[in-house]
Structure 1
Amino acid sequence: MSSHYTTLITASELAALRDAFIVDCSHDLAQPEAGQQAYDLAHIPGAIFLHLDRDLSSPKSGHNGRHPLPDADAFAARLAQLGLRQNQQVVAYDRTGGSFAVRLWWMLRWLGHDAVAVLDGGWQVWTAAGGTSEGTAPAARVPGDFRRRPTLVGAVPARGVLVNLHSGKHLVLDARAPERYAGEVEPIDPVGGHIPGAKNRFFQTNLQPDGTFKSREQLREEFTALLEDWDPRDVIHHCGSGVTGCHNLLAMTYAGMDGSLLYPGSWSEWCADPARPVATGRAPGKV
């Protein structure tokens, strides 16, 4: 059985691992402490907890989005301090279909670490499969030798997305709910709508009713239809704050459509500058 997972891992595969670095990434945007509270009640044995706001993001300035990426070297050093070793298998999970675990998946690839996977179906599938749990945090580990290596992913800054409005070299794919993309409602950010020209693929479309990902074949068929003639390497993913955009990126990678890019600042950064254009409606708007 393979012990090197780079996209998704099943509950049975995780149960068979003996040396995984497991991270609970559970979160709730409306109740930021809910993830920590859920972890404190019960989590996969040996799992540590990383908070989206405090651990997987840097401070907000009002112009850099709601979940700016942390400093890469500082984050790598933090992971090493927590015990992560080079080439060690990392498994990220949450309680919402991977919607927050995908952030850590992308960030580790950003640091050059490819042995990272999201637990397919998360906590619910783990417990349904008879997985054990514990309610106390694991003992501190001996620091590991993890370090930053050449990145495995591509990121695009806001200025790159702005240039693309005129060059048209990339397809922008928005992972938010259709009503937020259309500007019909906006419960989080101060401005509704989407980046002109962006297409919409709500990240939850990647999941089956039980919260696990659709098959590789089905995902490939759906994304191929959505992308039409676009090469996956020419796709820029984004969402509200650079988190669930990684869900679409993971789904495409799992389907064998590698090489897409991420706009980490996403809509919350984009709409913070009133000079950047905004489109509304359910079809891709134009500048």
Structure 2
Amino acid sequence: MNASFATLIGALDLAQRLRDADWVVIDCRFDLANPDFGYQAWRRSHIPGAFFLDLDTDLSGFRSGTNGRHPLPDPAQLAARLGECGIDNHSQVVAYDDTGGMFAARLWWLMRWLGHHRVAVLDGGLQAWCRAGQALDAETPEPIQRSYTFSLQPGRVDADYVAAHLGGTDMLLLDARSPDRFRGENEMLDPVGGHIPGAINRFFRDNLVTDGCFKQASVLREEFGALLAARNPHQVVHQCGSGVTACHNLLAMEAAGFHGSRLYAGSWSEWCADPSRPVASGPA
């Protein structure tokens, strides 16, 4: 079996293995303001052989109005969709987007939730691929139907867990949204502004350098280490607006060597849908 990548992979490493039979590339491009953008962009050009998975229809489940904007998909349906992309339990999967891993990290986390660890995000995304002089094409890859068997892992918590641990010392809640949204300002996506009481803001874009690649692992370790302040990584619960960019912080922590933090998938959009839940505003 080829070398396994479990967090990030560089463009040249991917290029060397792009045609390997057990490697599958997934295009995760998306635009919250234009949900059809990703699919149309993939149709125009993509990394050769890449399949497309959509955040709304493939990487999210049924929205009830109270379970957040991007609730987790049904595991069996997701596993079937992965199989349609030629992914089985031995595949090395590489996810990419054009927004610094903002959406690719969601697939990375979902596959780990299903019990799959040979999955990585292309560091720097499509821009890094192009900067490395690698080709794109517009050909639709031939689907190779494979069977994927999932085994759910304990990597998530729900709203009841968060509520039960508010104010306690055994949970560190990291909010990946921009600082203004965390403070309750300029909220354009959810009907209520603010944050979950006790949360600390770690904007997911702070994981990146100017070219859209992740910071060095040593830098991420120093930065997240300061936030943890000697806490165990298992005490960290990640959230954001809808459980997408929170995965970026979780990926950054794993890349830095802090293993075992968890995701509150419903995040702020689920939390604020229940008016009985407490809301904070302003800085942490």
TM-score, length-scaled by structure 1: 0.95
Matching residue within 27, 31, 36 for 2:34: 31
Bigger mean CA deviation after superposition, 112-121 or 77-86: 77-86
Paired residue for 2:149? 147
Over the aligned positions, Cα root-mean-square deviation in angstroms equals: 1.2
Deviation at 1:229, TM superposition (A): 2.4
What stretches of structure 2 of length at least 5 have no aligned partner?
Answer: none
Deviation at 1:2, TM superposition (A): 5.8
Deviation at 1:144, TM superposition (A): 1.1
Separation of aligned partners in 2, 1:82 and 1:253: 26
Give matches, 1:159-238, under 5 Å.
159-238=160-239
Does structure 1 retain, via aligned residues, the 8 Å contact 2:171–2:237? Answer: yes
Q: How far does the alpha carbon of each residue in 1:3-29 deviate from its partner, in whole angstroms, 9 at most, with x for none? A: 210000000100111231100000010
TM-score, length-scaled by structure 2: 0.96
Bigger mean CA deviation after superposition, 158-167 or 241-250: 158-167
SS for the counterpart of 1:90 is strand
Q: How far does the alpha carbon of each residue in 1:169-198 deviate from its partner, in whole angstroms, 9 at most, with x for none? A: 200000000000000220100000000000
SS for the counterpart of 1:14 is helix
Paired residue for 1:9? 9
Matching residue within 52, 55, 59 for 1:52: 55
Paired residue for 2:74? 71
Separation of aligned partners in 1, 2:175 and 2:51: 30
Separation of aligned partners in 2, 1:9 and 1:140: 24
Does structure 1 retain, via aligned residues, the 8 Å contact 2:93–2:120? Answer: yes
Paired residue for 1:245? 246
Paired residue for 1:272? 273
Deviation at 1:166, TM superposition (A): 4.6
Deviation at 1:232, TM superposition (A): 1.0
Paired residue for 2:44? 41
Bigger mean CA deviation after superposition, 167-176 or 88-97: 167-176
Does structure 2 retain, via aligned residues, the 8 Å contact 1:80–1:147? Answer: no
- Report the AA paired with residue 149 of structure 1: S
Separation of aligned partners in 2, 1:282 and 1:248: 19
Bigger mean CA deviation after superposition, 258-267 or 35-44: 35-44
Separation of aligned partners in 1, 2:152 and 2:74: 15
Q: Following TM superposition, where does structure 1 have runs of at least 4 consecutive aligned residues deviating by more than 4 angstroms?
A: none
SS for the counterpart of 1:179 is helix
Aligned residue pairs total: 281
Bigger mean CA deviation after superposition, 198-207 or 15-24: 15-24
Deviation at 1:145, TM superposition (A): 2.6
Deviation at 1:71, TM superposition (A): 0.9
Deviation at 1:167, TM superposition (A): 3.8
Q: How far does the alpha carbon of each residue in 1:40-92 deviate from its partner, in whole angstroms, 9 at most, with x for none? A: 11100000000100110112110000001111122112211332122110000
Separation of aligned partners in 1, 2:168 and 2:125: 39
Does structure 1 retain, via aligned residues, the 8 Å contact 2:239–2:264? Answer: yes
Percent identity, aligned pairs only, is 56
Deviation at 1:139, TM superposition (A): 1.5
SS for the counterpart of 1:109 is helix
Paired residue for 1:255? 256
Separation of aligned partners in 1, 2:205 and 2:85: 31
